[in-house]
Structure 1
């Protein structure tokens, strides 16, 4: 029995063939979002997000879309921007609750689990709607680096490299070429910039900028923005590489 059409997509209940249309629509919202990628390296995790400059009046490098949770966790979201801000706020509440109860920083896998359970609740009640975002959780703790992606239906997976948003397929193809077991954070910064530039849609002729953060050995386990000089160098490398003007193996300055 087909359930395509009006009726079953008006609320959070299963169609006759077992589909939740509202959850599927949330995935569509993500597909229209900015390209976001996560890379788990040997010594840390990189989060990178393409931000379209919708107005020349906007202050460059302002309006962050990647948030810090505690000192050792970063969360990037793509899709419906207000939903992403709510997810970051919820993550901070969970981190504070864990610290109050146990007196330590929340582990990365626990944060992913708690956020996944929270997101899944919004697929269970007719009075709410699913979150229209993919959430990337990057963490570094005593067990090393962690990278998770939480989907709109609440399921979460651990990844070495992952992407979401408009350029997700091109980005995934590029991520599959990387050797995550030997990749270092500084090298991953330039790879992340290259992949973001490779996925940018030049046909729409819209300016864009890259927001990038990292957490790992290079940052002493603290989630923070990639330094401006390193990011600018990575962007210059990405432009040369995408335009075919320079060999991809040219190293960045230490």
Structure 2
């Protein structure tokens, strides 16, 4: 770090002379070192896909998962520090439970996004705490609002997306997403592209082993958030392997 920032990174409530909060920047760096995460919003569904790096062959197959269900039609995916993300997951579930107890229905994703992003932002304001080193992507589908996708940064800022990415290969994934006509994509197209992008951005030289984690919510799964639904999950893996073989053959030529 340059001398201009020396001593200004000890507290989340302190700005450097050039207007930066270094603690928030460090949290963002933690997210950038995580496996790639992609969220794609199609016409009738939202698909979440994760490049889960396998750091030890001794782990159980489903250990350290990054995709979770918040409520019956709301999915959440984490990138960055997993322990920080799990804390945010518990807050999201608590908010969903409280809303259901008060109003007897599922919390709208927009409201959940606002509450969770406000909670994350609060941890960038006080010197007694530090920012969460995790980014959160939220997805849902219902008959009234259709498909919805939000991403919350470690700073607490959040936006609605048709497609978003986080993690190591965030920029590569975003470049691939920008090529797609996301608004008009069918469920099958969304699933295949999610698998394809994760396999294409995976760096075999740095991280040899990884597992594709995938979930979806939409019409095809009765409006429920499903983690690794069998037919769709296999479709995503097939599309990913096909894209990887195509890239390998192009490199050989």
Shorter-chain TM-score: which interval?
A: over 0.9
Contact 2:120 2:155 (8 Å CA) reproduced: yes
CA contact (8 A) 1:3 1:16 kept: no
TM-score normalised over the length of structure 1: 0.92
Structure 2 residues without counterparts, runs of 5 or longer = 249-253
- Describe the shift of the 1:94–1:143 C-alpha distance in structure 2 as closer, same or farther (beyond 3 A): same
Match of 1:223 among 225, 235, 238: 225
**Root-mean-square deviation (Å):** 1.7
Aligned pair count? 245
Question: Structure 1, residues 42-86: CA drift from partner, whole Å, max 9, x if none?
Answer: 001000111111122222244421111110101101001101111
1:116 match: 117
User: Larger deviation: 216-225 or 33-42?
Assistant: 216-225
What does residue 27 of structure 2 align with? Answer: 26
Q: 2:191·2:235 contact (CA, 8 Å) conserved in 1?
A: no
Offset at 1:205? Answer: 5.0
8 Å contact kept, 1:3–1:17: no
Any stretches of 5+ residues in structure 1 without a counterpart?
Answer: 247-254
**Normalized against structure 2, the TM-score is what?**
0.92
Deviation of the 1:237 alpha carbon: 2.3
Q: Which has the higher helix share?
A: 2
Partner of 2:201: 199
Note the alpha carbon deviations across 1:88-142, whole angstroms, 9 max, x for none: 1100000011112222110011111111100000001111100111100001122
User: Equivalent residue of 1:127, what SS?
Assistant: coil
- Residue 170 (structure 1) aligned to one of 145, 169, 172: 172
Cα distance, 1:234–1:71 mapped onto 2, change above 3 Å: same
State the Cα distance separating 1:231 from its structure 2 match.
1.6
Cross-structure match for 2:6:
6
Between the aligned partners of 1:31 and 1:91, the Cα distance in structure 2 is 22
Partner SS, residue 50 of structure 1? strand
**Structure-1 separation of matches of 2:232 and 2:100:** 33
Q: Could you list the runs of 4 or more consecutive aligned residues of structure 1 that deviate by over 6 angstroms after TM superposition? A: none
Q: How many Å apart are 1:182 and its aligned residue?
A: 1.5
Residue equivalent to 1:249: none
Matched, 1:156 2:164: no
